[in-house]
Amino acid sequence: MKQAWKWYIVLGAILGVVYAIVPLPTTKLVVWPLLAWSSVVAIVVGVRRNRPAARPPWYFLAAGVATFATGDNLYSFRSYVLHNDIPFPSYVDLVYLAVYPLLVVGLVQMVRRRSGGRDRTSMIDAAIVTVSVGLISWVFLIAPYVRIADLGVAERVFSIAYPVGDIALLAIAVRLAVGGGRRPLAFWLLTGSIVALLAADALYGHLNLTGAWHEHNIVDVGWIAFYVGWGAAALHPSMTQLTVATPVRRSVNARRLVVVGSTVLIPPVALFVDQSVGSVDNGAAIAVASVVTMVLVMIRVAGLARDVADGRSETRFETLLDNASDAILVVSAIGVVQYHTPSSERVLGGAPGTLDGRPLAARLLPDDAEQLQLLLTGSMGPATVEWRVRHGDNEWRDLEIIAADMRGVDGVDGFVLTMRDITERKQLDGELRRRALHDDLTSLPNRALFLDRVGHALSRGHRDGDSIGVLFLDLDDFKLVNDRLGHAGGDEMLIAVAARLTTMIRPGDTIARFGGDEFAILVEDVDIGSRIEQVADRVLEALHEPLEIGDEPVLARGSIGIAVGASDTHNPDDLLRDADAAMYVAKRSGKDRYVLFASAMHDEAERRRVVAAELRGAIDRNELVVFYQPIVEVHSGITRGAEALVRWEHPQRGMVLPDDFIPIAETNGVIIPLGQWVLGEACSEVQRWKQAGIVDESFYVTVNLSARHLQDPRVVEHVVAALRQSGLPAAALVLEVTETALIEDLDKTRATLGSLKKLGLRLAIDDFGTGYSSLSYLSAFPLDVIKIDKSFIDQLALTTGGPAMVRAVVELAQALGLQAVAEGVEEREQADALELLGCHLAQGFLFARPMRAGEMERRLSGDRVPSR
């Protein structure tokens, strides 16, 4: 039945041929009605079968065709059956004229439904064509009737009504042709039949006017085509699409412009024709038509210019979308991707072409997919969210999504998701956060993060009733390593230590680096004193394993302070301070060990603060005293020199020994004026002895120079001032520096020592054997004296090993041309052993304790008597 329209055309063709063959009047009375009414039947059948969404337009058209057929029937009936001479106009003309409004209404309804919106452009185009063609109609069909002088009013009106009706039909047909909408075969059948009708009417009008009209002629072909074409159009299945709306497309259609544009030429051509057939009869009408078409063309051109601009911006917009780095997707209410920009595939990853028509959730993590669901159900509102999408096989990327609900918005109708890849931004963000909380060198947590973790651990412990422990580790003599291996080597060592420490803590524990050579370890759920001490032991042990730095095995040592606390008694800062204090005690008790914090250490810390404050005024208040300890020639017992050792006669605490305030003075800088004062005092005292003749010229005094003072740029100046003010010969002064002080800053120290030596004094290395024992230093500095530390002397009593070590040191000193002085000799045996080993000078309790200047003076006076 789909072919019904074809069979109908075949039937129409056959009837047309029959109509042509069969003579009048039979053909007009039998064949013609068959043709005419078959069209009406075809339209009704077509509407029934094809079920267009909109039926009214078709019923109006059917009514129009039926009216037309009725008119034909009445006319033929009157002419051939009643043999009436039909007057003009008659009621039959009324029937005929009724056809126009019916067809026009039907067609207008069709046009309305076809164009999705108001299509102004098509209306103007249709108007231009209509006016131009209407002009022709006026010139050749209408005006002649207007001018015929003997025509009655009714005759004149009806004569004009036909061409006017045709023009109206023409206008709507043109509008149909130039407007939007689909153009299936049914469309062409319909417009073709209208054209056929108009052509036949025009020809009929013309022939009638010239008196050449007669029944049953070629003009009938046009009307037959009209009837058959209309019926076939309704029967064709595509007729349903004629009333389907399609959006207005704003494209510049070149073909249409040519057609519309050329109709503008009609008025001048008409003028030419009018003029060439004689006088110009239709000048006014041609002028009006020209003006109207011109105005319409101008409006049209203005619209065209805007369309072109719009078209451009639309193109620009499309280009923008195509090249946008952000992905823009439109997803339906059920989350299916309906549209996406080209960049979307890059942003979202996955194989090309796998986005459209697929659910977006398939690309997301379950949590994010859930969020998408919330978004689509509208329970989230307008939102900016962050999702992770599966990008490559194994790669996830972070996206920032801005979602906009645009359901019901023309041309979108969905959720617009703008997605931006923020993976890099997130990485940078993470890196910045990491940097804020981590140590750059070792990547361990830094102090800030450590304190935070301690805080959390304390509050966790509070709930569980557990204690937590903090280990504070300070590497021993790291400065030496740094100086020997260089800065890079030092860094390498810190990294190696960090790595080693990391391997031995439990996953839940935290290890941090505080900068320099300080590390801290947080140990949770500690049953006080057992596990934490095991951890400290393990740390010390781990450090004992040599570290490979460069090609060299380097030994690391550390001092650990441990503090244990709970949230009700401690805050993170307390714990760290306690651990720090305990670490300090560990250092002082000989390094390479751990010390558990005891509350007494708090007093110690407090005491240190008080001491530091009091010490500043102590010099001015004359609370400092220099004691002297004889340096004795072992075999003769003669005092050859004396070491100046400072004491603090504290008004409340009594005699304070230097170990209790020198380190404090070193840390707060008081050591400089203190050192200056001792230097001046010792030089003056010994010079007085010399001038008093108590001691000879060879008698010398040794003064301890702290590392801090040695680094001070004014140290040489201070020494020069002490010598000048006292008058002591430089040769009678020995400055004692420790190994640690020497290697502080090698080049600078060497230069300072050189300047001091130039003054004529001598230099001694103090506490030899306790610091970093690299013998190469001994030859690197302009030294004169080695003071062998008490720890070596103590070993002299041992049967094995001990004497050998001391002998080695003495031999070394001799090899380097240095004078060896033994410290801390308390036993006679030690003195004898030293004498045997070739160490001739010594100091110690065996000979004398450090004493006041006056006591020393008496002793020296006493010495002198027997020796001279």
CB of 514 to ligand C2E, least distance (A): 28
C-beta closer to Ca ion: residue 580 or 823:
823
From ligand C2E, Ca ion, none, which one binds at residue 239 (CB under 5 to 8 Å depending on kind)? none
> Is 739 among the residues that bind Ca ion (CB under 5 A)?
no
CB of 789 to Ca ion, least distance (A): 6
- Binding Ca ion (rule: CB under 5 A), the pick from 736, 742, 769, 781 is 736
CB of 787 to Ca ion, least distance (A): 5
Say if residues 368 and 390 touch (Cβ distance below 8 Å): no
Say if residue 54 is exposed, middle or buried (CB neighbours under 10 Å; 0-12, 13-18, 19+): middle
From Ca ion, ligand C2E, none, which one binds at residue 658 (CB under 5 to 8 Å depending on kind)? ligand C2E
* Residue ranges binding ligand C2E (CB under 6 A): 629, 644-646, 657-659, 662, 675, 678, 704, 706, 766-767, 823-826, 843-845, 850
From Ca ion, ligand C2E, none, which one binds at residue 91 (CB under 5 to 8 Å depending on kind)? none
3-state secondary structure of 11: helix
CB contact set of 607 (below 8 Å; sequence gap of 6+)? none
CB of 670 to ligand C2E, least distance (A): 11
C-beta closer to ligand C2E: residue 767 or 784:
767
Distance (Å, rounded) from C-alpha 813 to C-alpha 784? 9
Beta strands 383-390 and 337-340 are unpaired
Q: Residues 216, 218, 223, 227: is their CA dihedral positive or negative?
A: positive
Orientation angle between helical segments 185-210 and 219-235, nearest 10 degrees: 160
Eight-state DSSP code of residue 818: P
CB of 734 to ligand C2E, least distance (A): 12
Peptide bond into 866 cis (omega under 30): no
C-beta closer to ligand C2E: residue 649 or 767:
767
C-beta closer to ligand C2E: residue 364 or 741:
741
C-beta closer to ligand C2E: residue 169 or 646:
646
CB of 496 to Ca ion, least distance (A): 33
From Ca ion, ligand C2E, none, which one binds at residue 150 (CB under 5 to 8 Å depending on kind)? none
Within residues 766-785, the interface with Ca ion by CB under 5 A covers 766-767
3-state secondary structure of 253: coil
CB of 603 to ligand C2E, least distance (A): 21
From Ca ion, ligand C2E, none, which one binds at residue 845 (CB under 5 to 8 Å depending on kind)? ligand C2E
Number of neighbours of residue 272 by Cβ within 10 angstroms: 12
CB contact set of 807 (below 8 Å; sequence gap of 6+)? 837
CB of 464 to Ca ion, least distance (A): 51
Q: How far is CA 307 from the centre of its chain?
A: 41
CB of 817 to ligand C2E, least distance (A): 23
The tokens for 164 are: 């006017």
Orientation angle between helical segments 120-137 and 283-323, nearest 10 degrees: 160
Angle 23-26-28 (CA atoms, 0-180°, nearest 5)? 90
From Ca ion, ligand C2E, none, which one binds at residue 348 (CB under 5 to 8 Å depending on kind)? none
Say if residues 314 and 292 touch (Cβ distance below 8 Å): no
From ligand C2E, Ca ion, none, which one binds at residue 706 (CB under 5 to 8 Å depending on kind)? ligand C2E
Q: How far is CA 387 from the centre of its chain?
A: 13
C-beta closer to Ca ion: residue 588 or 621:
588
CB of 584 to Ca ion, least distance (A): 21
The tokens for 863 are: 């010495």
CB of 643 to ligand C2E, least distance (A): 6
From Ca ion, ligand C2E, none, which one binds at residue 559 (CB under 5 to 8 Å depending on kind)? none
C-beta closer to ligand C2E: residue 461 or 675:
675
Q: Residues 520, 525, 528, 533: is their CA dihedral positive or negative?
A: negative
Q: Which stretch binds Ca ion (CB under 5 A): 371-379, 424-432, 664-672, 815-823?
A: 815-823
Q: How would DSSP label each residue in 317-358?
A: HHHHHHH-SSEEEEE-TTSBEEEE-HHHHHHH-SSTT-STTS
Q: How far is CA 331 from CA 334, 360, 378, 382, 506, in A?
A: 8, 8, 13, 15, 49
H or E element that contains 441 = none
Angle 716-722-728 (CA atoms, 0-180°, nearest 5)? 115
Distance (Å, rounded) from C-alpha 338 to C-alpha 415? 10
C-beta closer to Ca ion: residue 193 or 843:
843
From Ca ion, ligand C2E, none, which one binds at residue 267 (CB under 5 to 8 Å depending on kind)? none
Q: Which stretch binds Ca ion (CB under 5 A): 209-217, 417-425, 717-725, 731-739?
A: 731-739
Distance (Å, rounded) from C-alpha 549 to C-alpha 65? 106
CB of 587 to ligand C2E, least distance (A): 15
Query: Hey, what amino acid is at 705?
Result: L
What mask of x and - would describe binding to Ca ion in positions 783 to 802, judged by CB under 5 A? --------------------
H or E element that contains 472 = strand 467-475
C-beta closer to ligand C2E: residue 434 or 714:
714
From ligand C2E, Ca ion, none, which one binds at residue 645 (CB under 5 to 8 Å depending on kind)? ligand C2E
With contacts defined by CB under 5 A, how many residues of the chain interact with Ca ion?
A: 5
Distance (Å, rounded) from C-alpha 719 to C-alpha 708? 15
From Ca ion, ligand C2E, none, which one binds at residue 88 (CB under 5 to 8 Å depending on kind)? none
CB of 548 to Ca ion, least distance (A): 35
CB of 447 to ligand C2E, least distance (A): 32
C-beta closer to Ca ion: residue 399 or 763:
763
CB of 823 to Ca ion, least distance (A): 5
Within residues 690-729, the interface with Ca ion by CB under 5 A covers 704
C-beta closer to ligand C2E: residue 604 or 826:
826
What mask of x and - would describe binding to Ca ion in positions 741 to 770, judged by CB under 5 A? -------------------------xx---
From Ca ion, ligand C2E, none, which one binds at residue 850 (CB under 5 to 8 Å depending on kind)? ligand C2E
CB of 862 to ligand C2E, least distance (A): 20
What is the maximum alpha-carbon separation in the chain? 186
Eight-state DSSP code of residue 593: S
Number of neighbours of residue 698 by Cβ within 10 angstroms: 9
From ligand C2E, Ca ion, none, which one binds at residue 301 (CB under 5 to 8 Å depending on kind)? none
From ligand C2E, Ca ion, none, which one binds at residue 629 (CB under 5 to 8 Å depending on kind)? ligand C2E
Tell me phi and psi for residue 111, to 5 degrees.
-60, -45
Helices (H) and strands (E) counted in the chain, each on its own, are 32, 22
Q: How far is CA 273 from the centre of its chain?
A: 76
C-beta closer to ligand C2E: residue 162 or 768:
768
In the Cβ-directed half-sphere of 446, how many Cα atoms lie within 13 Å?
12
C-beta closer to Ca ion: residue 220 or 766:
766
From ligand C2E, Ca ion, none, which one binds at residue 843 (CB under 5 to 8 Å depending on kind)? ligand C2E
Q: How far is CA 641 from the centre of its chain?
A: 74
From Ca ion, ligand C2E, none, which one binds at residue 664 (CB under 5 to 8 Å depending on kind)? none
Tell me phi and psi for residue 52, to 5 degrees.
-70, 150
Write out the residues near Ca ion by the rule CB under 5 A. 704, 736, 766-767, 823
